[in-house]
Amino acid sequence: MATPEAPNPDFEKLVKEAVLSMPAAQHLGFGFDRIAPGEVDLVQPHRRELTQHNGYFQGGVLGSLADFAAGSAAGTLLPAGWINMTIDYTVKILAPAKGDRLLARGRVVHPGRVLSIAGAEVYALGGDRETHCATALVTMRNVEIRSS
């Protein structure tokens, strides 16, 4: 598959600002590791309040990280003045998530004018271990921002 072209040259700045200004992303502590057209790597540092038994990340944290990574990847391909919002997502948890941090690799599956489909693979990272712990498929509605 050819590398997609971002229609907005400021896609990196706008995606970062859009995500990092959201209270949920701030609360969870997300950070960007990489942003490219159609692809985003999003990191979630380990914090005790995000875990369940025995220090495993709680499943909702995996889902949130996957949703944000996939949505951010799709956001890199939107024209200036557009945003996207999740309308549906499915997360399959494949293994317990335990480590120093989580990494979600979001990628666009199908960019569209009205709907975009993206996916994310979530990995638990700790020491020299990388465990693939979840996979998600996310559908976003693309919306033009109109001033009032």
- Cβ pair 53, 98 in contact under 8 A: no
Domain boundaries, the chain: 11-144
Q: Is 43 helix (H, G, I), strand (E, B) or coil?
A: strand
The b-or-e profile of 17-56 (16+ CB within 10 A means b, else e) is ebbeeeeebeebebebeebebbbbbbbbebeeebeeeeeb
pLDDT in tens, 5-49: 899 999 999 999 999 999 999 999 999 999 999 999 999 999 999
Across the chain, what does the average pLDDT equal?
94
Band (88; pLDDT cuts 50, 70, 90): very high
Token look-up 């960007």 returns 32
Q: Which fold has domain 11-144?
A: Thiol Ester Dehydrase; Chain A (3.10.129)
pTM of the predicted model as reported, rounded to 2 decimal places: 0.94
